[in-house]
Amino acid sequence: MLNREPRIPTTRKAEGEHLDNPARVRFKDSEYLALEQVAAMRHGGVISHAIRECALVGMEVINLRQDVLLKRLAEGQSMQAAQNEMVEALMAHLIENRITEQMMQRLRA
């Protein structure tokens, strides 16, 4: 019977950092600052809520892009036309979300 010590990765976070700052090590400084700004504006400074929102929006964008691309390809249209429509759909979606968000902020104020 072999007794092995568990292998501890050398790239572990510093003691306590996983509690104090769970996301920072996974983002560039500029990206993390952007998340902090989003969190301050929309989520009372809670970064995990901002990360969740961004992840959900990102997943939705990916799904929208795939839907548009598959639809265009099924219709026999070119990839460039499909990409143009994807960008249009994405921009419309982002603008709609931003307008809704601004309206909600005004209602809360």
pLDDT band per the 50, 70, 90 thresholds, residue 1: very low
Which residues make Cβ contacts (< 8 Å) with residue 13, sequence separation at least 6?
Answer: 25
Tokens 């603008």 correspond to 95
Which residues make Cβ contacts (< 8 Å) with residue 73, sequence separation at least 6?
Answer: 79, 82
Distance between CA atoms of residues 89 and 83, nearest Å: 10
> For the chain, what are the domain ranges?
22-108
DSSP assignment string, 32-87: HHHHHHHHHHHSTT-HHHHHHHHHHHHHHHHHHHHHHHHHHHHTT--HHHHHHHHH
Distance between CA atoms of residues 16 and 13, nearest Å: 8
pLDDT in tens, 71-93: 878 888 777 877 787 788 888 88
Q: Please tell me whether residue 17 adopts helix, strand or coil conformation.
A: helix
pLDDT in tens, 20-73: 665 555 777 888 888 888 889 888 988 888 888 888 888 888 888 788 778 878
Whether 10 has a pLDDT exceeding 60, the answer reads no
